[in-house]
Amino acid sequence: MFTLAIVGRPNVGKSTLFNRLVGKKLALVDDQPGVTRDLREGAARLGDLKFTVLDTAGLEEATDDSLQGRMRRLTERAVDLADAALFIVDARVGITPTDQVFAEILRKKGGTVILAANKAEGRAAESGFLEAYSLGLGDPLGLSAEHGEGMAELSVILRPLI
């Protein structure tokens, strides 16, 4: 079964997207970073596509000095288990230094990376969406996990991979 790992720093909307794809509240979502942990696996459906999805979490409670190491290990573990990585950034916040660390991890790992700028609904997301081009991981896909926007475009990208 094709496996997609959802990766990215805390609070970008990974679990919200995971829940939307899986259709059940398997992963915890909260306004406060610090709720979800480790890796969660779910059976995803997107239109007629069926695949396995991994949600990376467990970074939220790390202390500052252990965060980068834990982030790296967990992300690498998910990417190793997966056929492709869906790298999520927050279009409302724009690109942060932590996003750049993730981009570097994914670049070094090789493999298929789909870049998505989440929270892309509305005007507040426009400049952050454009910043995502600077990661050098190709054209970002605009998503709104919360509102279900960009799901058809995601399925167009995933279909040839599955």
Cα angle 118, 5, 76 (rounded to 5 degrees) comes to 115
Rg (CA), the chain: 14
Tell me, residue by residue from 96 to 135, as one string, x for binding to ligand GDP by CB under 6 A and - for no binding: ----------------------xx-x--------------
Nearer to Mg ion, 37 or 45 (CB): 37
Smallest distance, ligand GDP to C-beta of residue 56, A: 8
Q: What is the largest CA-CA distance in the chain?
A: 43
What is residue 24's three-state secondary structure?
Answer: coil
Q: How far apart are CA 150 and CA 148, in angstroms?
A: 7
Which residues make up each annotated binding site for GTP? Answer: 8-15, 55-59, 118-121
Instruction: Report the interface residues with ligand GDP, using CB under 6 A.
Output: 10-16, 29-31, 33, 36, 118-119, 121, 144-147
Annotated binding site: 8-15, 55-59, 118-121
